[in-house]
Amino acid sequence: MALLQISEPGQSAAPHEHRLAVGIDLGTTNSLVATVKSGMAVVLNDEKGRSLLPSVVRYGAEGAVDVGYGAQARQSQDPKNTIVSVKRFMGRGLKDIAHVESMPYAFEDAPGMVRLRTVQGVRSPVEISAEILRSLRVRAEASLGGALTGAVITVPAYFDDAQRQATKDAARLAGLNVLRLLNEPTAAAIAYGLDNGAEGIYAVYDLGGGTFDISILKLAKGVFQVLSTGGDSALGGDDFDHRVFCWIIEEAKLAPVSHQDARLLLTKAREAKETLTQHGEAPVTVKLGSGEYVDVKLTTEIFTEITRTLVQKTLGPTRKALRDAGLAPEEIKGVVMVGGATRMPQIQRAVAEYFGQEPLNNLDPDKVVALGAAIQANLLAGNRAAGDDWLLLDVIPLSLGLETMGGLVEKVIPRNSTIPIARAQEFTTFKDGQTAMAVHVVQGERELVSDCRSLARFELRGIPPMVAGAARIRVTFQVDADGLLSVTAREQTTGHEARVEVKPSYGLSEDEITSMLKDGFEHASDDAFRRALREAQVEAQRLIEATQSALREDADLLSTLERAHVDHCVAKLQALVIGDDRRAIDAAMDALNKGTAEFAARRMNRNVQRALAGKSIDQI
Amino acid sequence: MAVTLSEAAAKHVANFLQKRGKGIGVRLGVKTSGCSGMAYKLEFADSAEAEDLVFESRGLKILVDPRSLPYIDGTELDFAKEGLNEGFKFNNPNVKDQCGCGESFNV
């Protein structure tokens, strides 16, 4: 029974006047829509009681557009006009798409995103996705009996800006008001966290049709904190189908097959995979359009063998995510399984083995993301009950920092920091009388600016002239809840300030993030060496500057011979500083330091004398 | 003839009234709408109407307009928690059936 709240006089809401909000899991293989009814998240079924809507869109020659099971049933007859797994094309160019050669579509490369030529004309992935979303909207409005206020749509954690934007555009095209895009693993955590009231550190292992995501989440007192994320945006159940498909071709010794046959075989491959979830073997018998017969038997052993590398491929990002969170597998209290592909026994086994415990799957892995999205949508639509003010924390995927002298990166906010976050660090001037400072904001894990991604540059002017190292410039990095970074530089004595705003997580694709992370690990020792070299070079430059400035002021303190020696040391260091022999630079710096020690002492004495000149003892 | 508050409901009503800073009690009633014919009304009351019936339960005033009373007579207003959701619940002996969500009912 619904629970009522006390309204203001005359303001009692009529029943069923909740603002209708839904959560949509726009999946690669299947999509779902869910809502919250009387405090319970439920998946909305179609008129035949089916919860899943296959993410398949068919453009018919007669002008009709078919979505879901109907389209799926026709896919082997009309593969060119039946689009499956369109999510893989969202916000992607032709070169980004794997297995293009085995796809039956007529691709058209277009700037930004591919297009597909269908019998009804050229369609973009956004339009195709919009058909799926429209179908879900119609289903939701029919079952809820009213127009929707808005929807939360889930996306893989690593979707980049182009992919997220494409998803939003598709929703708008489908007549949906997007309340928020929510990361799929986070949605799963919401579904599990709220429904089960569990606390502790959890891993969300999400192997969907087309994407793999692993997230390490901390659930405590209704606060979700994403400790780290990782994944592979081109790995999913479809790849398992593809492996089986290739195995069938090989096993049945088939010549290259037509598009129709390829589609038919892929369907058979998927059926065989699903059969193996419950059974030890799956016969594959089919008559191809070419007249050939296929009659092979896929066993669990063979299936496990041919997909072993795919299973292993999920454990790499899993390890990395754990390492990022600073955790060992045994510190994970539970592993949440999401995505239909996690039903495969060898996945369950591999995950159980890695984490040393049986994974949690008490919610339907196909529905859990939609349920979480529905809960979030319900809150965002304003149907919140008193006390429902939980927080959702997210992390930044790559470190944020700025360029310091010598092209080095000073990390200000390390990656996987939870947002919102603000960090400040003090910097100083490098040269005497320096009145401006360039602030170059970069993102990445490498030590050198040239290996990181440049986000923004700005200048702080109006620093009062001071000797090098005396100015205090406070640089503050602030990332708000929407991932918007603002960097402020402020000179502490005058209060002069300059700032810039950037969106750090956007514009980087998952591949770029992954490769930047990988580079970071691979080049760690290399980078450490180069960093040490750059630091030595910067230090040497500073020493040369300081010596030359001292020589300009107090050259008379040196004899001709002494002066020649200092000049020699400076020249030697100047020659070495452009090279990459750090030891030689260090040695030359030592030599210069020794060679100027006496000079420095005399300068000190002179300065003391100057300061004391004409003053009586009492004045000091 | 009475409408009452459970202990939990009384505690929460008193609490809400105090937080709100005004109001003489709560108004319970019904109105016609919803999928099963009737819907409950639960509001703060700032003043009593002339025809209102006023009940006292656990030190709090409950106002009911005479047209609503037949439908909710004998009701105990309760406060319940379901998961993260919490709110008031009408334990109404007159109800014959209610819609799935319980927001509206029939007598």
A173-214 tens-digit pLDDT? 999 998 888 888 888 888 876 445 567 888 999 998 777 889
User: The tokens of A181 are what?
Assistant: 């895009």
- Judge: A2–B35 Cβ closer than 8 Å, yes or no: no
Residue A160: the pLDDT is: 66
Cβ neighbours of A16 in B, within 8 Å: 34-35, 101, 103-104
B-chain residues near A386 (CB < 8 A): 86
Q: Is residue B10 situated within a structural domain?
A: yes
For residue A71 the two structure tokens come to: 């389209």
3-state secondary structure A234-281: CCCHHHHHHHHHHHHHHHCCCCCCCHHHHHHHHHHHHHHHHHHHHCCE
Q: Do A9 and B43 touch (CB under 8 A)?
A: yes
Domain membership flag for residue B78: yes
Reply yes or no on whether the pLDDT at A10 is more than 70: no
Residues whose CB falls within 8 Å of the CB of residue A118, separated by 6 or more in sequence, listed in order = A59, A80, A81, A83, A106
Residue B54 within any structural domain of the chain: yes
Q: Residue B99 and residue B88: Cα distance in Å, rounded?
A: 17
**In angstroms, rounded to a whole number, what is the distance separating the alpha carbons of residues A435 and A463?**
4
| One-letter amino acid of A183 | N
User: How many C-beta neighbours within 10 Å does residue A110 have?
Assistant: 12
Q: What mean pLDDT do residues A278-302 have? A: 87
**Which residues, 6 or more positions from A384, have their beta carbon under 8 angstroms from its beta carbon?**
A378
pLDDT given at position A58? 95
Kindly determine whether residue A11 and residue B43, on different chains, have CB atoms separated by under 8 Å.
yes
Cβ-Cβ contacts under 8 Å, A2 against chain B: 87, 101-103
User: Under a CB-based contact definition with an 8 Å cutoff, are residues A314 and A321 in contact?
Assistant: no
CA distances from A504 to A479, A484, A489 (A): 9, 7, 18
A389 pLDDT band, cuts 50/70/90, is very low
Question: Quick one: CA dihedral A377, A381, A383, A388, positive or negative?
Answer: positive
Alpha carbon A401 to chain centroid, angstroms: 17
Is there a domain that residue B101 lies in?
no
Average pLDDT, stretch A394-406? Answer: 79
| pLDDT for residue A507 | 44
Answer whether A4 sits within 8 Å of B40, measured CB to CB.
yes
Annotated catalytic sites of A, by residue? 25, 87, 184, 206
Question: Of B34, B83, B87, which is closest to A15 when you measure between CB atoms?
Answer: B34
Name the strand (E) or helix (H) holding B10. helix B7-20
Contact A65, A81 (CB under 8 A): no
- 3-class DSSP state for residue B82? strand
What percent of chain A is predicted at pLDDT more than 90?
24
- Beta-carbon contacts of residue B64 (< 8 Å; ≥ 6 apart): B3, B27, B28, B29, B52, B53, B54, B55, B72
User: What's the pLDDT score for residue A385?
Assistant: 45
Say if residue A15's pLDDT is above 60.
no
Question: Which residue in A30, A31, A8, A34 sits closest to A22, CA to CA?
Answer: A34
H helix or E strand, kind and range, residue B32: strand B25-32
**How many domains does one find in chain B?**
1
Number of neighbours of residue A214 by Cβ within 10 angstroms: 27
B34 chain-A contacts, CB cut-off 8 A: 14-16
Q: A574-585, pLDDT tens digit by residue? A: 888 888 888 888
Say yes or no: B21 contacts chain A, CB-CB below 8 A. no
The mean pLDDT of B47-71, rounded to a whole number, is 88
What are the structure tokens assigned to B20, written together?
Answer: 């709100």
Q: Which residue of chain A comes nearest to B30, CA vs CA?
A: A12
B15 part of contact set with chain A, CB < 8 Å:
no
d(CA A18, CA A438): 53
Binary contact (B45, A9; C-beta < 8 A): yes
Question: How many CB atoms lie under 10 A from the CB of residue A454?
Answer: 13
Q: Which residue has the higher pLDDT, B99 or A147?
A: A147
pLDDT of residue A17: 53
User: What pLDDT sits at residue A467?
Assistant: 84
Structure confidence by residue, pLDDT tens digits, A125-142: 999 999 999 999 999 988
Residue A253: Cβ within 10 Å count: 8
Q: How many degrees, rounded to 5, is the angle at CA A121 between CA A119 and CA A127?
A: 110
Give me chain A's average pLDDT, please: 82
CB contacts of A14 in chain B (<8 Å) are 31, 33-34, 39
* pLDDT greater than 90 at residue A94: no
- How far is residue A325 from each of residues A68, A201, A338, A482, measured CA to CA in Å? 39, 10, 20, 21
User: Under an 8 A CB cutoff, do A9 and B44 touch?
Assistant: yes
Reply yes or no on whether the pLDDT at B66 is more than 90.
no
Q: A474-529 pLDDT, tens per residue?
A: 899 887 765 667 888 888 888 888 878 765 444 455 566 566 666 666 666 677 77
Q: Is A71 or A430 the better-scoring residue by pLDDT?
A: A71
Rounded to an integer, what distance in angstroms lies between the CA atom of residue A497 and that of residue A473? 9
Q: What's the pLDDT at B68?
A: 84
Spatial separation of the C-alpha atoms in residues A536 and A542, rounded to whole Å: 10
A301-315, A475-489, A604-618: range with lowest mean pLDDT: A604-618
Instruction: Report percent pLDDT > 70 for chain A.
Output: 86
Asked if B82 lies within 8 A of A14 by C-beta distance, the reply is no
User: Is B102 within the bounds of a domain?
Assistant: no
Asked whether the beta carbons of A570 and A550 are under 8 A apart, the reply is no
Is there a domain that residue B59 lies in? yes
Residue A337's pLDDT is 92
Residue A54 has pLDDT above 80, yes or no: yes
The domain containing residue B8 runs over which residues?
4-94
Model confidence at A24, in pLDDT bands (50, 70, 90)? very high
Q: How far is B87 from chain A (nearest CA, A)?
A: 5
Percentage of residues in chain B having pLDDT higher than 90: 16
CA distance A404 to chain B (A): 49
**Best residue of B24, B85, B105 to probe chain A, by most A CBs closer than 10 Å:** B85
| pLDDT given for residue A528 in this prediction | 76
Record: contact B33-A15, CB cut-off 8 A: yes
Q: Measured between CA atoms, how close is A44 to chain B, in angstroms?
A: 15
Give the chain A residue whose CA is nearest to the CA of B42.
Answer: A6
Chain A partners of B101 at a C-beta cutoff of 8 Å? 1-2, 15-16, 37-38
CA distance A35 to A33: 7
Q: How does pLDDT run across A330-386, given as a tens digit for each residue?
A: 999 889 999 889 999 999 999 999 999 999 878 899 999 999 999 888 877 766 543
Is A561's Cβ below 8 Å from some Cβ in B? no
The Cα A339–Cα A365 span in angstroms is: 5
Segment A531-552, tens digit of pLDDT = 788 888 888 888 888 888 888 8
Given pLDDT bands bounded at 50, 70 and 90, which one contains residue A438?
A: confident
Strands (E) in A267-420, as ranges, are 281-287, 293-299, 334-338, 392-395, 400-404, 408-413, 418-419
Q: Region of A5 please: left (phi>0), alpha (psi -120 to 50) or beta.
A: beta
Mutate to test the interface with A, among B24, B65, B84, B99 (most CBs of A within 10 A): B84
Q: Are A329 and A351 in contact (CB under 8 A)?
A: no
Query: Residue A78: CA atoms inside 13 Å, Cβ hemisphere, count?
Result: 18
B85 touches chain A (CB under 8 A): yes
The number of C-beta contacts closer than 8 angstroms across A and B is: 92
3-state SS assignment for residue A9: coil
Contact A6 B98 (CB under 8 A): no
Cβ of B13 under 8 Å from any chain A Cβ? yes
CB contact under 8 A, B90 and A4: yes
Tell which wins on pLDDT, A233 or A586.
A586
**Token pair recorded at residue A379:** 């809150």
Q: Give alpha helix (H) positions in A458-596.
A: 510-522, 524-554, 560-577, 582-595
B54 touches chain A (CB under 8 A): no
* Highest mean pLDDT, choosing among A115-129, A159-173, A404-418, B71-85: A115-129
Q: Is residue B17 part of a domain?
A: yes
Closest C-alpha to A81, from A114, A29, A133, A128: A128
Answer yes or no: is pLDDT of A67 > 90.
yes
pLDDT digits (tens, 9 = 90+) for A420-432: 788 888 888 888 8
Of the candidates B43, B83, B88, the beta carbon closest to that of A12 is on: B43
In chain A, whose CA is at the least distance from the CA of B80?
A3
pLDDT tens per residue, range B21-53: 788 899 988 876 545 567 788 888 888 888 888
User: Residue A373: is it exposed, middle or buried by C-beta count within 10 angstroms (0-12/13-18/19+)?
Assistant: buried
In this structure, what CATH number is given to the domain that contains residue B10?
2.60.300.12
What's the gap in Å between the CA of A387 and the closest CA on chain B? Answer: 8
Out of B27, B31, B87, the one facing A3 most closely (by C-beta) is: B87
A234 vs A137, which has greater pLDDT? A137
pLDDT band at A308 (very low <50, low <70, confident <90, very high): very high
pLDDT value for A16: 47
B107 inside domain: no
Cβ contact A73:A387 at 8 Å: no
Contact call for residues B33 and A15 (beta carbons, < 8 A): yes
Q: Where are the alpha helices (DSSP H) in A464-523?
A: 510-522
Both tokens of A484, joined, read 């918007």
Task: Note whether B103 contacts A16, CB cutoff 8 Å.
Answer: yes
Task: List B53's β-bridge partners, or say none.
Answer: B64
Are B39 and A14 in contact (CB < 8 Å)? Answer: yes
B92 touches chain A (CB under 8 A): no
Asked whether the predicted pLDDT for residue A391 surpasses 50, the reply is: no
Q: Determine, for residues B44 and A195 on separate chains, whether the beta-carbon distance falls below 8 Å.
A: no
- Cβ proximity of A456 and A502 under 8 Å: yes
Q: Strand, coil or helix: what is A155?
A: strand
Using a 10 angstrom Cβ sphere, with 0-12 exposed, 13-18 middle and 19 or more buried, the burial of residue A19 is middle
- Give the rounded distance of the alpha carbon of A580 from its chain centre: 36
Helices (H), A95-205: 125-144, 161-173, 184-196
For residues A36-40, give the mean pLDDT.
67
Chain B residues inside the 8 Å CB shell of A36: none
